[in-house]
Chain A
């Protein structure tokens, strides 16, 4: 039973380029969450999606960041015109939406902006 799959595991971009991070939830899970972890800092919630809907994007920066979870295919976190401050580990998690509501996390995608 595959867990949450994230790719790429490592991504290097130059300032101004776009970064696309993909997340395939666990089988049967329809809830996806994205978190960001800056170097030496804690996990910060970014966005919570259910299939085709954004439920909570209170942690998403207002500009350059977007997320989607289409009916078919993985969830995508897109960062346009990356800056050095976007360098971080981006973790995706999924859940079934039923009790006990635990989130299962992927191994993360590490973005480095040069």
Chain B
């Protein structure tokens, strides 16, 4: 799986959009980008994933550059409860590659602090 690079920490004002960047310059054509977050002391939580196109769900939007070498997770209206470590993970889709290993490898992530 390709490596990812994220800033160690970011701050955001409550009610504003939080834009979390992730670099994955060695991503290959069959690798997906996944985002998870871990609120302090809790289990990680899936947020969103994408391959090429931009994606949006009830939690966030994912913008992937055309060359796929970087992406941005957007929380449109950050709240205090969004304070967490956000992980960007790149992984081959095992159901597409004939493989069977679905594990995710977590890096250090970005600590997002939402301030009142």
Contact = CB atoms under 8 A, between A and B. Distances in A.
Contacts, number: 63
Interface stretch (B12-20, B62-70, B103-111): B103-111
B-side interface mostly: loop
Contacts of A43: 38, 44, 106
A85 interface: no
B43 A99 contact: no
Contacts of A33: 102-104
A31 interface: yes
Interface residues of B, number: 25
Interface residues of A, number: 27
Contacts of A42: 106-109
Contacts of A102: 34, 46, 49
A56 B45 CA distance: 22
Interface string A84-114: 0000010101010111111111111000000
Nearest to A50: B100
Contacts of B93: 99, 101
13 contacts: A33-B102, A33-B103, A43-B38, A45-B104, A45-B105, A48-B102, A55-B100, A91-B44, A97-B102, A99-B93, A100-B49, A102-B34, A102-B49
Interface of A: 4, 31, 33, 35, 42-45, 48, 55-56, 89, 91, 93, 95, 97-108
